[in-house]
Amino acid sequence: MRGWIGAGAFGVAALVATIGSANESPVVLVELFTSQGCNSCPPADELLLELATRDDVLPLALHVDYWDYIGWADVFARPEHTTRQKAYAHRAGASTIYTPQMVVGGTDHVVGYKPMKLMDYMEVHEAALADVDVDADFSGGSVTIRCVPKEGKTLPGQILIDLVRYNPQETVNIEHGENAGKTMTYANIVESWDHVATWDGQGEITIDAPADAEGRYALVLQEPGPGRVLAAYKLD
């Protein structure tokens, strides 16, 4: 099964107009597991492209490789993205993975194109974002990241700190497979997802990690599992 497309009453424009914009960090993380070889994925890809224009959400596209055999190898696919999707499925007790699939805040899954369901989950996670101040300083091929909980706030005892590099936008002419003949523009394509520290959530933590000053980066604070995403931060 390639994926499901829901017949929602609201499209991309309705979703973008309905959720209020904000300029504050942290933001909600939305991960889209997608493939250029999946004919159910283009509506979800277009939705992510719209979400990428917003300030109050970090939408990331994780292209998977398990549809490459059906006629078109996704040029952005990485096996580690498939591994991450399988880990989410295992934690949720699911035996099958699908494309397109969005995971909101690490815990809520949206299979297919369902903008209103996505909107509901985003609102729930926005209200529960962790209160952590994050600063990032890029210099000399590295980034120094400082995380500190806001005064009086309690965080979980173990937090994974991940640094994500992504390509803001790329257009691809798909020549073969189920989407042959389509020209698709993709947003926030994940190029690397690196675990850089584990934090006990107490006091301040400072991390130095390799980073190209020309790249676009985000920080993800997540419980192990992979579990609940406490918050995501755009570092650009």
Contact indicator for 51, 191 with CB cutoff of 8 Å: no
Domains contained in the chain, CATH given:
12-130+164-193+214-234 (3.40.30.10)
Give residue 105's region: left, alpha or beta (phi > 0; psi -120 to 50). Answer: left
Report the distance separating Cα 22 and Cα 24, nearest Å: 6
**Tens place of pLDDT per residue across the chain (236 aa):** 344 333 333 344 444 444 433 234 799 999 999 999 999 999 999 999 999 999 999 999 999 999 999 999 999 999 999 999 999 999 999 999 999 999 999 999 999 999 999 999 999 999 999 989 999 999 989 999 999 998 877 888 899 999 999 999 999 999 999 999 999 999 999 999 999 999 999 999 999 999 987 889 999 999 999 999 999 999 97
How far lies 87's CA from each of 77, 79, 98, 194, 197, in Å? Answer: 17, 13, 13, 16, 20
Q: Scan for tokens 């699911």, then name that residue.
A: 94
pTM attached to this predicted model:
0.90
The CB density around residue 91, as the number of other CB atoms within 10 Å, is 13
Report the distance separating Cα 30 and Cα 61, nearest Å: 9
DSSP for residue 24? P
Report the distance separating Cα 62 and Cα 43, nearest Å: 15
Give residue 126's region: left, alpha or beta (phi > 0; psi -120 to 50). Answer: alpha
Give the chain's end-to-end CA distance (angstroms, integer). 37
Q: What is the pLDDT of residue 12?
A: 46
Report the distance separating Cα 66 and Cα 89, nearest Å: 15
Q: What is the pLDDT of residue 104?
A: 98
Residue 18 parent element (H or E): helix 12-18
Read off the tokens for 95. 């035996």
Q: Scan for tokens 């499901």, then name that residue.
A: 4
Residue 145 exposure: Cα atoms within 13 Å on the Cβ side: 26
Contact indicator for 81, 192 with CB cutoff of 8 Å: no
Contact indicator for 72, 37 with CB cutoff of 8 Å: yes
Report the distance separating Cα 110 and Cα 96, nearest Å: 14
